[in-house]
Structure 1
């Protein structure tokens, strides 16, 4: 069977391309649809269907642009109620893609409309399942997201639906089927996903905690709901965009790809409703940046942190990027629904420097300097990693203020004595540094290389603590 996984690591997302006999289908495509269109053209195929496993929370899907540009039919599973033209399939309904069959299996639980698509080849053999967020490798979809959009759909109700969907629809399928999930490790749509992005269903039955055959419904609900963290704040906003519709990416690109001179950029940036977003790497941002900029580097989980930290999804954004990275920045903003980039600094930060404009910097220190300071009782260490990372291992006496909580905990940062920031490797702590700078704090330093460098450098090793033991 010709099925291709198209994986985007920065948001841990998998779309799927299916083609046979000149017809193609996409499953859970991203917002930027041109690569899918180009892929179909390479096969001399027409995109016939866009299958959606559910209304996604962690990204804005490309279904509407694919339907508009390619004439493809958008398909959702039972109970879906989108505000645009789509085919709402019935349970067990079959669709033809060339000589292949795509069979609808309604599997509510992650959301009410969640659907798994069973792939059947030209010989009638069942090949695999596009499982969306119903079944991941090593995990299943969290059932607590829909209630942020529909209050009556509680996590307990959906967890119980998911228990029955897995046992009545998924676990009854043949062991040799390939599982093709919508996400891998790093996604906030589950809690313990594997780094692997496909597996056999048979192996998942043996290794996935949620598929234990002797599990009662109550045991399943308890294990599934235990340890769930608060979902990112942008998730409900993305769900609504996927339900209600959105502006074409072409229009968003046209608005955002506006090259601004230094003077134009400065004038617009002085408006209170405009945010300067600098997408350069942490080390370059630290050496110099436009005052009041927020730094979220493209090289890591850019879209996730944009969604987590920029509270207004309609925020007007001015971009500072490396020359040539403007389009990528706009596309990656749009993946999570931030469609209001209004231009970028032509020539990047160098243009600002060459114009002799005011800049700010972030002081950075090496791990050995931090250790020396702590030996002399000269610095407070604030660790901005997730609580789970901090609890697993951290520097003794460090204070944990996770990055996504900083804006609500600014009063906990000292204003009259120096402190030091660290995360795992320096990416998140520089985001934190930019937020603190925006709020008038400058009495801090950032550890180059973060906790990983502190561990390598520290002597003695008892500088660290993890649960119940000293390393």
Structure 2
């Protein structure tokens, strides 16, 4: 048997290729949309990808199952659990098998057994894997999707918070408790292969290790320590981070069926700063992907800044308007990687790009914003000429914040611009400075120029200001 692990750091998403080397057949579990890595592995190992397994209808990335079907004619193995709202659609002409609890199917000498594990979502299933190529007659591991993570379990509130389906948080938490009880009955030696790691918004305290075991999670996973449903439900629903806006889009896309990458628009190169300014004047979106420091010193008015790093995909999903054409200012050496990242969360309407440095060199009357230290920010507040806008998550804000700070989480800011007081200078602040820079660009793009970004964030404030005042 062959088992390979693939990890998208920008999405904290794990996928797996499982192959029977005797028959030369392989499947991909919870595939990412860009299937290049799977193709390369299959070619290297002389495997034929015959199937794509999905543990549930994903909300945080676009599944690659239909890409695999288009490229290789693979069969989709998908859940038939949950009610009518949680059934896959538009499967005509696509080879697929609908799965329920207890179902089994073979890929060569590999046996996959389906275990219905609702809680994160109603249709969620896990796959127990047995390798009968040797003498094994019991499973060696379980692909848990967003059910059990290393040190955490899937959140049950996404359907309510992101998709607006009322009452599903409570029912999901109850279902999760029952699913965990089934999980606890599995053998301790079973390996656990989840679909996400640290940084994913599908849980609140995911570990940064790629795999674990049933026994280890039973001993140390906080969610496994409850004997009564009420206490578990309360603990599970408390402190969950805000789900990105794009989760509702992904849920719909993966349920109904997304466009194939080959059918997406091919971005055209733009070489003139004037053309970028004209696009902005027409109401198009332009994303400046340079580092925040470079953007703060000079940028084209109306652009939004999301630096191209490991957090890029998440914040693009929050900030980008899916209904508007998008254009990119970036180092063109990373264009292909940027398109993969954007398309992984369904941002498909990318129509153009420009080499950022060339455009900046041409542009006149560049906009900018000032960065200030926490000490400087404190002086501005004390003089009554400024106030603090805290753009961190709700849980971070609740744990401690600057006195009288207004709280608007950065991802929600574009929809709450009218709540920002522009009579005073706005000091934009997060935990360390990265998110506040994104927030500053959103404010600037919406015509709010009376602002500064506080470098070092709340962490630096505690060191420079709060500790001195105590």
Q: TM-score, normalised by structure 1?
A: 0.89
- Determine whether 1:55 maps to 2:57: yes
Deviations 1:403-444 (A, max 9, x none): 123234434433233232221222211111111112222122
CA distance in 2, matches of 1:406, 1:353: 26
Q: Alpha carbons of 1:227 and 1:6: their partners in 2 closer, same or farther (altered >3 Å)? A: same
Instruction: For residue 325 of structure 1, give the secondary structure of its aligned residue in structure 2.
Output: helix
The answer (yes or no) to whether the contact 2:318–2:412 under 8 Å persists in 1 is no
Q: 1:417 to 1:112 in 2, by over 3 A?
A: closer
Q: Any conservation in 2 of the 1:314–1:339 contact (CA below 8 Å)?
A: no
Alignment match of 1:334 (pick from 305, 319, 343) = 343
**What do the CA deviations read for 1:290-331 (whole angstroms, capped 9, x no partner)?**
110011112142222222223x42321011112312222222
Alignment counterpart, residue 203 of structure 2, candidates 190, 210, 217: 190
Deviation string, structure 1 residues 263-304 (Cα, Å, up to 9, x no partner): 4444333322x1111111111111111110011112142222
| Structure 2 unpaired stretches of 5+ | 82-86
Residue of structure 2 equivalent to 1:446: 453
Deviations 1:28-70 (A, max 9, x none): 1111111111111111111111100000001111110111101
- Give the paired residue count: 455
Q: 1:406 to 1:151 in 2, by over 3 A?
A: closer
Q: Could you tell me which of 163, 175, 185 is aligned with 1:161?
A: 175
Q: Pick one of 325, 328, 335 that aligns with 1:319.
A: 328
**Distance in 1 between residues matched to 2:383 and 2:165, nearest whole Å:** 53
Once the two structures are superposed, the pairs formed by residues 248-397 of structure 1 within 5 Å of their partners are 248-252=260-264, 255-262=265-272, 263-272=274-283, 274-310=284-320, 312-345=321-354, 348-373=355-380, 379-397=386-404
Partner of 2:421: 414
Secondary structure (helix, strand or coil) at the match of 1:237 reads helix
C-alpha distance in 2 between matches for 1:186 and 1:355: 38
Q: Give the Cα separation in 2 of the matches to 1:116 and 1:372.
A: 55
Partner SS for 2:179 = helix
Aligned counterpart, 1:78: 80
The aligned residue for residue 467 of structure 1 is: none
Match of 2:443 in 1: 436
Instruction: Measure how far apart 1:256 and its partner are.
Output: 4.2
Query: Which residue number in structure 1 is paired with residue 84 of structure 2?
Result: none
Write the distance in 2 (CA, Å) between the matches of 1:423 and 1:198. 32
Q: Which runs of 5+ in 1 are unaligned?
A: 464-469
Change over 3 Å in CA distance of 1:45–1:282 after alignment to 2: same
Counterpart CA distance in 2 for 1:299 and 1:413 is: 28
* Runs of 4+ that moved beyond 6 A: none
Cα deviation per residue 1:360-407 (whole Å; 9 max; x = unaligned)?
112112344335545656542322111221232334443333212323
Deviations 1:320-346 (A, max 9, x none): 11231222222211111111011111x
Q: Within the alignment, does 1:247 sit opposite 2:259 as a pair?
A: yes
Contact 2:130 2:141 in 1 (8 A): yes
The answer to whether the aligner puts 1:131 opposite 2:133 as a matched pair is no
Classify the secondary structure of the residue corresponding to 2:19: strand
Q: Does the 8 Å CA contact 1:383/1:399 hold for their aligned counterparts?
A: yes
For residues 393 and 188 of structure 1, what CA distance do their matches in structure 2 show?
21
Mean Cα deviation higher: 63-72 or 193-202: 193-202
1:238 equivalent in alignment to 2:247: no
